[in-house]
Structures are given as structure tokens and as C-alpha cells.
Amino acid sequence: MHKKGQVTVFVVVGLIVLIIVALMLVFLQKPAITQPESVQSNDIKEFTENCVDEVGRDALFMIGLQGGYYNVPTETEPIQRNDPEYGDFQIPHWYIIDEQYLPDFEDIAEQVNLYFKDNFAKCTQNYQTFEVDGWLVSTDEINIETQFPSEETILIATYPLKATKGTSEVSFETLKPIRIPWDVKNTVEWAYEKTAQYSVEGSLTFPQATDNRLLQIFPSKGSWILTFINEKDDMEKKYVWKTAVR
């Protein structure tokens, strides 16, 4: 009986030790459970900034193909184009006889902002990836300030966002400036110069390929399409700007 009593004591002590060890393991693992939430909260901001970069490139490229416009004004009598590489787009006439339809840099910046308002949610997909993981994300409308220094284009996004998951929370209103290495400023100023010259003189001296820039001119049903290519912008796609003259 005495030996059986000792065995019972040992079993009870062993169980107590196992319970204590198990509780200590659970306690020690608590930081490992909360850490991913902190990482994911940072991921939300990084994800948003990546979307600003992606949509910004799409906006600038589309607006370049369409001569400075996202929504091309009907009075420019745009030329419809379907390109195997670029898809469907419209080329506005900057000059129609004596009429001018040149967008200035303020107009171009506003067109970028309009593009974002229509297309930014397609990139974020309303943060469904994060909501599946338990985050509740609420946002307001995005606004983009576009700056055109030489050598690059800068996008500054104002985008109020708040995300919560349990006790974790992330919120921001402005994002870091996104720098896109496309020299829109000098490309547009070059397009201003050569399109005005062509509208007056009806011709240009060739070759028009200097300083990593290429100008191509093609006829189109009584009009002339001018394509400006900045070959220094070494991206997946060369930066292209198109206008038309009649």
C-alpha cells in the first residue's frame, strides 16, 4: 500500500509539472501570435503605396498616348486607335486649322487625378486580401497631386484609410511621394514645340532623333499623327506621347 501511494504521488506531481510546462509554453508563445498583426498593418500601407505606383504608371502612360487627356474632349475630334501593344485609345488634335487644344501641366495633373478616382479601387480590390485575414478596412476618396520636375514625375497621394483587427489598428491620410522615372515634363515641352512648328510649317526637318528622343509622323485621313518617344526612359515600355494636327 505504501508503494502504491508513492506511485500515485509521483503521477500527480508529474501531471502538475506537465500542466505548468504547458502553461509556460502558451504564455511564451503569446508574442508570436500578436507579431504578425503588427507586420500586416505595415503591409497595408506598403500595399497601398505599391498601388499608387502601379496605377500612376498606367495613368501617365494612358494620358501620354492620349495627348495629355484621360477623358479626351470631343472638340479635339480625336482619332480612334487600336494598337496590339497599347490597346484602344484616342489621339486628340492639338491643332485644327486655327484652333488650339493644348492641355497645360495643370490640366494634365487633373487628368491623372481623374484616372486615379476611376481606377485605384481596381488595384486595391477594396482590400479583400486583408479582410479575409480579419482586417476591417475603411477608406475615403483618393486625391493625387502630380508634380513634373525634370527627369521624373512625382505622385503625392492623399488617401484617408483606417484598418483594425482585434486590438491592432493602422491609419494614415497621406502616403510617401511616389517617384516614377518618366520625364513627362521635357517630353511634353518637346511635344509643344514640335507640334506647334508642324501646324505652322506643315513639315519638319528630319531626322528628328536626338538626345535619346525620337519623333515619328504618320498620315491619318487628312490629319498627321505625331509620336514622341523618350528612349531614355528605360522601362518595360518607352514613354510615348501622341498628338495630332490638321
List, as own/partner pairs, every contact residues 120-129 make where C-beta atoms lie below 8 angstroms and the sequence separation is at least 24, other chains included: 120/51, 120/52, 120/55, 123/51, 123/54, 123/55, 124/47, 124/48, 124/51, 127/44, 127/47, 127/163, 129/47
Which residue in 185, 196, 191 sits closest to 216, CA to CA? 191
Entry pTM: 0.79
Q: From first to last of its 246 residues, what are the pLDDT tens digits of the chain? A: 555 555 565 555 566 766 676 666 655 554 443 334 444 668 999 999 999 999 999 999 999 999 999 999 999 999 999 888 888 999 999 999 889 999 999 999 999 999 999 999 999 999 999 999 899 999 999 999 999 998 899 999 999 999 999 998 999 999 999 999 999 999 999 999 999 988 888 776 654 556 678 889 999 989 999 999 987 655 566 789 999 999
